Amino acid sequence: GNSVTQMEGPVTLSEEAFLTINCTYTATGYPSLFWYVQYPGEGLQLLLKATKADDKGSNKGFEATYRKETTSFHLEKGSVQVSDSAVYFCALAGYSSASKIIFGSGTRLSIRP
């Protein structure tokens, strides 16, 4: 079945450091791929998405590219801020209204000032 594997945390970085959180997936067909973020005390929010191979999703300085050849969707940011401290979830879904989202286990990111 479909599944998502992401880099285990926690990850601790200094402010302005470069961030990569790895994510790989297993799926039949052509899923859509997502990164969701959960800030402390808040609900899950969609950070970015890509719906087909080679698409790049981007938002708030974060980027991820849908790589079908390596079945990956790694999250990157060039210069992290303290406010980026949160739990990040890689996820996938099929293209239909009945498509449940399958989440990875999450990566906790902490940024030191």
Partner 1 sequence: GAGVSQSPRYKVAKRGQDVALRCDPISGHVSLFWYQQALGQGPEFLTYFQNEAQLDKSGLPSDRFFAERPEGSVSTLKIQRTQQEDSAVYLCASSSTSVWETQYFGPGTRLLVL
Q: Cis (ω within 30 of 0) for the bond into 10?
A: yes
62: region left, alpha or beta (phi > 0 left; psi from -120 to 50 alpha): beta
Interface mask (CB under 8 A) for partner 1, residues 42-71, using x and -? Answer: xxxxx--x----------------------
Stretch that binds partner 1, among 11-19, 55-63, 69-77, 88-96 (CB under 8 A): 88-96
93 binds partner 1 (CB under 8 A): yes
Max alpha carbon distance in the chain (Å)? 43
Q: Which is nearer to partner 1, 49 or 77 (CB)?
A: 49
Check if the beta carbon of residue 107 is closer than 8 Å to that of residue 13. Answer: no
Given candidates 86, 92, 102, 109, which one binds partner 1 under the rule CB under 8 A?
102
Taking CB under 8 A as the binding criterion, the range among 18-26, 67-75, 77-85, 95-103 that sits at the site for partner 1 is: 95-103
Residues 14, 18, 24, 29, Cα dihedral to 10°: 130
**What gap in Å lies between CA 103 and CA 90, rounded to an integer?**
6
Binding site for partner 1 (CB under 8 A): 4, 32, 36, 42-46, 49, 89, 91, 93-106
